[in-house]
Amino acid sequence: MSLQLNTLFVTTDGAYLRKDHETVVVRVEEATRVQVPLQHLASVVCFGRVG
């Protein structure tokens, strides 16, 4: 099994990131847009008004 480490790019204004157990959750306007396991990420890059 190979594990690909990826970069999560967040470019949506008003997006919020939070850690939920072992995942990163991206929420926009009270709705979850994406949930990614931390073990699959090498980095997170945010552009714009992201909290």
Please name the fold of domain 6-46: Ribosomal Protein L15; Chain: K; domain 2 (3.100.10)
Confidence at residue 24, expressed as pLDDT on a 0 to 100 scale: 95
2 pLDDT higher than 60: no
Confidence at residue 43, expressed as pLDDT on a 0 to 100 scale: 92
Q: Which residues does residue 16 pair with via DSSP β-bridges, in sequence order?
A: 27
Q: Per-domain residue ranges for the chain?
A: 6-46
Confidence at residue 3, expressed as pLDDT on a 0 to 100 scale: 60
Residue 27 has, within 13 A of its CA and on its CB side, a CA count of 12
Query: Tell me: the pLDDT tens digits for 3-50?
Result: 667 899 999 999 999 999 999 999 999 999 999 999 999 999 999 888
Confidence at residue 31, expressed as pLDDT on a 0 to 100 scale: 95
- Given strand 16-20, what is the order of strands in its sheet? 16-20, 23-28, 31-37
